Structure 1
């Protein structure tokens, strides 16, 4: 094998039982984000990481960094305690950058 395959996948709750991927180790990109900023959802004043980007070992070699754009997140507990609903998403975008050959 002269080339290492690069793979990225998007997971949904419905994606379970995939035997082909079961033995592969995936690495979460958010581990390089400072812990104080490492959250994609805000509830009761506490940030939680609900959204993840996982990469294969082959793709990890091309990984240059990640960002979580949570600056404008609203506390989701407020939306459920009143009739005021926020029009924006309640999840922050998680973005990873790669330097491709």
Structure 2
């Protein structure tokens, strides 16, 4: 056995062990990475779903708020019309002081 052949054999052995261990490592690592990516993807999906529902609820609340605001304005205008009538004011004064 010459010194050149021994070096190549050691080099081949090292590369072979590296690639054989790397292929096993890649397979198990692939499973781990796939699980991690799946978990992160599912978490992002749920987060976006909850965020979309929250935004939708805020929009509904905003619409409800604008409806309630318009209703309050109508009631205020009706009250102003009612209390601006002098006969109603006299009745209220009579009720208050009797």
**Normalising to structure 1: TM-score of the pair?**
0.17
If each structure's helix is expressed as a fraction of its own residues, which one has the higher value?
2
Max Rg structure: 2
If each structure's strand is expressed as a fraction of its own residues, which one has the higher value?
1
